[in-house]
């Protein structure tokens, strides 16, 4: 008779996970837990340091902002540029975004530094809805036109800092 209790327990756990998955709450909870763990210092993010000078960076390409405007990457050539590649379904992306928002606020008065948060969701609307549901002030765009070779990476979130000469 123990198997009935076990089956009920598994059924309940699977039901909760299915509910969270289909309501879209699972990445929110994952991101919150990861943010909490990062803030305690129990886990540390894997950081790779790659220096990029603007002479090595490909500035070709365009993005679509969430007002429908086409944004040229070339327009950022004269600034130190922080680019973050993210997706609305990515738990680690959600976990780091509040911290990036605070960094943006602390550097907002610097005219020589620019931020560009690039959404990689398959659907433009998913990235747009996610950003608009938050109270972040950093500039966010969608990779509607694809990514050039300098922006293609194996995993997300990925943050690049491109420095001027």
Residue 38: which of 81, 84, 93 has the closest Cα? 93
Same domain? For 83 and 154 the reply is yes
- Tell me: do 116 and 139 sit in the same domain: yes
Specify if 45 maps to a domain.
no
Is residue 46 included in any domain, yes or no?
no
Same domain, 58 and 129: yes
Q: Is residue 130 part of a domain?
A: yes
146: left (phi over 0), alpha (psi -120 to 50) or beta: left
- Measured in residues, the chain has a length of 165
**Separation in Å, CA 60 to CA 41, 76, 93, 146, 150:** 38, 11, 25, 11, 9
pLDDT by residue for the chain (165 residues), tens only, comes to 588 888 888 888 888 888 887 887 777 787 777 777 777 777 666 655 454 555 688 999 999 999 999 999 999 988 999 999 999 988 888 888 988 999 999 998 999 999 999 999 999 999 999 999 998 889 999 999 999 988 988 888 899 999 876
87, 155: one domain: yes
Residue at 32 is within a domain: yes
**Under 8 Å between Cβ of 61 and 93:** no
Residue 121 shares a structural domain with residue 68? yes
Task: Give the chain's radius of gyration (CA, Å).
Answer: 19
Q: Are 45 and 100 in contact (CB under 8 A)?
A: no
Residue 71 lies in a domain: yes
Domain of 24 in residue numbering reads as: 2-40
pLDDT, residue 82, reads: 93
pLDDT at 42: 73
Residue 129 pLDDT? 94
- What's the pLDDT at 43? 64
Same domain, 107 and 135: yes
Tokens of 20: 């969270």
Count how many domains the chain has.
2
Q: What is the C-alpha separation between 46 and 137, in angstroms, rounded?
A: 26
Beta bridge partners of 80: 113
CA dihedral (56, 59, 61, 63) positive or negative: positive
Q: Rounded to an integer, what distance in angstroms lies between the CA atom of residue 84 and that of residue 105?
A: 15
Q: How far apart are CA 9 and CA 34, in angstroms?
A: 26
How many Å apart are CA 52 and CA 163, to the nearest integer?
6
26 and 97 housed in the same domain: no
Shared domain for 21 and 70, answered yes or no, is no
Beta bridge partners of 53: 163
Find the CATH number of the domain harbouring 59.
3.40.30.10
């Amino acid at each position: 008779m123990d198997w009935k209790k076990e089956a009920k327990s598994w059924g309940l756990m699977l039901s909760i996970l299915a509910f969270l998955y289909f309501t879209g709450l699972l990445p929110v909870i994952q991101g919150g837990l990861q943010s909490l763990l990062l803030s305690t210092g129990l886990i540390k993010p894997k950081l790779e340091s790659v220096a990029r000078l603007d002479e090595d960076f490909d500035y070709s390409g365009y993005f679509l902002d969430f007002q429908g405007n086409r944004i040229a990457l070339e327009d950022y050539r004269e600034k130190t540029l922080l680019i973050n590649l993210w997706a609305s379904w990515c738990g680690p992306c959600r976990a780091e975004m509040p911290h990036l928002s605070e960094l943006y606020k602390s550097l907002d008065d610097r005219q020589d530094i620019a931020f560009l948060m690039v959404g990689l969701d398959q659907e433009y609307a998913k990235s747009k809805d996610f950003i608009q549901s938050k109270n972040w002030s950093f500039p966010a765009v969608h990779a509607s036109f694809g990514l050039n070779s300098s922006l293609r990476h194996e995993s997300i979130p990925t943050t690049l800092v491109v420095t001027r000469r």
